[in-house]
Structure 1
Amino acid sequence: MKQPVVKLRNIELGSGRPKIAVPITGKTTADILAAVDPIKAAKPDVVEWRIDFYEDVTTAAKLQATGQQLRAALGDIALLTTFRTQGEGGELALSDADYFQVCRDVLAGDFTDALDVERYHAEAAVQEIVAAAHDKSVVVIMSNHDFDKTPAQADIVERLTSMVALGADVAKMAVMPQSVDDVLTLLTATNISREKLSQPVITMSMGDLGKVSRMAGEVFGSCLSFATVGAASAPGQIALDHLRPELEDLKLN
């Protein structure tokens, strides 16, 4: 079966090596923009702006102005914008209504190439923001995170499947392993989802036990790996200058 591919600015998610994303987690506009040059020097494929760290995230005009400055500073690098809610490992607690308002503010700012949309909010609201993103030609990476455990294999596949059913361009799942078997569960679920779904998937097993999942995406079917240039945004992320050669070593001819 031909693997699904999603175009994100100048790259393709789902073809060749897994692409590499690097987070920006600055609290102020100055912090955010100061992170750009070191990241650009490392040449990631994607920058993920974690706006839940940004102090003015709920002020639309400031969010949009900073986003536009970041977009200009990044040049050709694709930008994924993510508000990670506290329940899924993020920095800030927002009501569902406020979460979706922030998502709408991001889209209205016309600065991002992709928007992270968390799966487990009210489905009607999720579908509404997916449609709004697609109206702006913004790629939707739908996500779910379990920082406590690794769900059963069938549950992981079902969650990823439900994301595609809700309109996700890319379905993303991050889980926490308590054992080596948990890592194998995640990798097996990734491979099943890659074979079954009409859209690419991003998966990772977090922490030290799960680091292998961040390197083996090409084999098992995860199209994007999150690395670090400076601060990490999740446990187990590997420095970009280490991850890139590891992905290259594990490439499939």
Structure 2
Amino acid sequence: MGEELAPAGPQPGLRERKKRETRRRISDIATGLFLTRGFDNVTIADVARTADVSVNTVFNYFKTKEDLFFDRQDEIIEQASREFRGRRPGEGAAALFRRRFFEGLDAGAYWTAFHEGSEAWTQTVRDSPALTARQREIGRRAQDHLADLIAEDTGAGPDDIAPRTAAAMIFAVQTVLIEQIADRKRAGETLQEMREDVYAAAARAFDLLEHGLGDYAARPATGNRTATGN
């Protein structure tokens, strides 16, 4: 990989960098506890004690316990919109997110679940109603944000259903693929064992997204039947 470029603009000062480091340290410690013991079995006091900080310090950085687990939720909410803004000339929304999903698989990106340890993360979420609800909220906010951006970019009117439909379909395809990967990981499959199927499933799902359902799942036509008496 190439050398990472420093972000443009003024860099944070020492105090701000220390605050960020403290925030990340507390979150990392909390996540380790949640994955090991289960989210509902860990208290804020447990996190503070393990991180060697006060409970008030934890709340200074995180408003809720769920924020400790989903410490990157703002990034997740912004991700799809940021990618949409950076799409290539002539690249449609479906093609963009197809390309980005395959790039995520290739890189073992955390948001694809196609990486080692993803089963522990997904199981922790599924075991906690609070985390499950927060994950749905994050997904809804990200989807709404993308829909608003699509509407703005395409000049869609307030009654045009297309932007929200497009955003919903994009998120639905990605969610189904990610959940399938997570389920197979939880069942004990290795990344190598499922790799071919994962890529094939992603291609199939995005084909449907790009080209539409059409006559998919149409009921087979019945042949002509000759009436017979009894």
Regarding TM over 0.5, the answer is no
TM-score, scaled relative to structure 1:
0.26
Q: Larger % of strand: which?
A: 1
Q: Larger % of helix: which?
A: 2
